[in-house]
Amino acid sequence: MEAQPVEELLAFLCPESHEDLRAQAVQGVLGLTGSVEGRQLLAGQPEVTAALLALMDDSCTAVACDACRALVNLAAEPAAAGALTAGMPTLLRHMLEPTDPLSALACAALANLTRTQPASQDFWQLLQREAGGLAPLVDALCASPTPPQTCLGPLLANLTQLPGARACLLHPARCLVRRLLPFTQDASSSSLCRGGVAGTLRNCCFDHGNHKWLLSDHVDILPFLLLPLAGPEEFTEEELEKLPLDLQYLPPEKQREPDPDTRKMLLEAILLLTATKPGRQLVRDRGAYVILRELHKWEPDPAVLLTCEKLIQVLIGDEPEPGMENLLEVEIPAEVEEQLQRLDREEEQCQQRTLDLQGPAGSLPGDSS
């Protein structure tokens, strides 16, 4: 479809048009958002995005839902971010109302939209103004069952790429991060939710100044990172004594986290916690090595296996030389830094392709057909 027919379609997306015409027009736009070419075409038509946002409050629930489904898909197109940013207050309002039929879809749209840092920053500023920070999102995630639960995990992961959002989640008085920990081992939640929470916790571990608090009894993050990585293996009494209570005498039907990306993020979070000498010592003392040893024997995914090997090497290797104890503050040679950045870019491109091939987060089977 060319731009001219899209402009003609736009005339039927207004609230004044007949309900049947609005429904057909929205379905036409939804079909367009099912392809990369269609999303790119619509990204150049910001008035279409504005019309879809307005139709989220349509008197016909079917029209409103189809409009929001189209926005979920359109939010996966970076070129559409500018027009969608203006609609963030509308999406937030629908998302935070658990009985709203658009709640889950609005959350999915925001999860797709905030994958870019500028959009994530814009949404974080809106959250601070309208909702006081991350508490309403954590409340919605922890209120079970809640429609937007699946995509709230990825949304939190996107937001905690920002230092301010991490500081909010890690504020000692509120301790919001503590409420997220059970999701790492909640088999009843979706893999998307568990993966989003794992990514959120990993992001929180980038701030080494909080490691001592995260590993302390106030939060006790380590068992929640290790338990999804543990299988049904039996250990000696000496090994069991070192493990946290939650990891001792696991049942023979114990299963590891099935999603490799989530396992990798959990390992990366532990790896970040070992960046300082006290963190390394505590992770060693709590028997993490035996869990990782058995995971290494079992792990089928090469990328996860490599991360596991890195973590094991940190735990069993010699301590760094004086002045280099904090691995997050070690100065990396310029040529090595350049190579690492290149690898990071390649990994991001691979992840982006995977997201596009799998479909936008939160889109439902048949949404864009």
Same-domain check for residues 228 and 310: yes
Q: Of the residues 138, 173, 204, which one is the last residue of a structural domain?
A: 204
Report the pLDDT value the prediction gives residue 352, as an integer from 0 to 100.
Answer: 39
Identify the DSSP state of 79.
Answer: G
Is 241 inside any structural domain? yes
Domain membership flag for residue 63: yes
Whether 48 and 116 share a structural domain: no
Domain of residue 249, residue span: 221-318
The neighbour count for residue 26, using CB atoms within 10 Å, is 27
Yes or no: say if 311 and 245 are a contact pair by the CB < 8 Å rule.
Answer: no
For residue 145, say if its preceding peptide bond is cis, omega within 30 degrees of 0: yes
Does residue 164 lie within any of the structural domains? yes
Query: Tell me, what's the pLDDT at 319?
Result: 66
Q: Per the domain annotation, does 228 fall within a domain?
A: yes
Same domain, 177 and 266: no
Measured CA to CA, the distance from residue 57 to residue 94 in angstroms comes to 9
Same domain, 60 and 119: no
Instruction: Please identify, among 318, 338, 356, the residue that sits at the C-terminal boundary of a domain.
Output: 318
For CA atoms 328, 274, 344, 76, the dihedral sign is negative
Please state the domain count of the chain.
3
Q: Do residue 50 and residue 127 come from a single domain?
A: no
Closest CA relative to residue 262, chosen from 306, 229, 219, 309: 229
Q: Which of 306, 239, 240, 245 is nearest to 271 (CA)?
A: 306
Match 């571990």 to its residue by tokens.
205
Considering the domain architecture, whether residues 66 and 147 belong to the same structural domain is answered as no
Residue among 67, 64, 151 at smallest CA distance from 108: 151
Q: Are residues 181 and 228 in the same domain?
A: no
35 vs 40: CA distance, rounded Å: 9
Each of the 369 residues of the chain gets a pLDDT tens digit; together they read 455 666 777 888 887 788 899 999 999 999 999 999 999 989 888 999 999 999 999 999 999 999 999 999 999 999 999 999 999 999 999 999 988 999 999 999 999 999 989 999 999 999 999 999 999 999 999 986 555 668 999 999 999 999 999 999 999 999 999 999 999 998 888 899 999 999 999 999 998 999 999 999 999 999 999 999 999 999 999 999 999 999 999 999 999 999 999 999 999 999 999 999 999 999 999 999 999 999 999 999 999 999 999 999 999 986 655 544 455 554 444 554 455 455 555 544 444 333 333 333 333 323 332
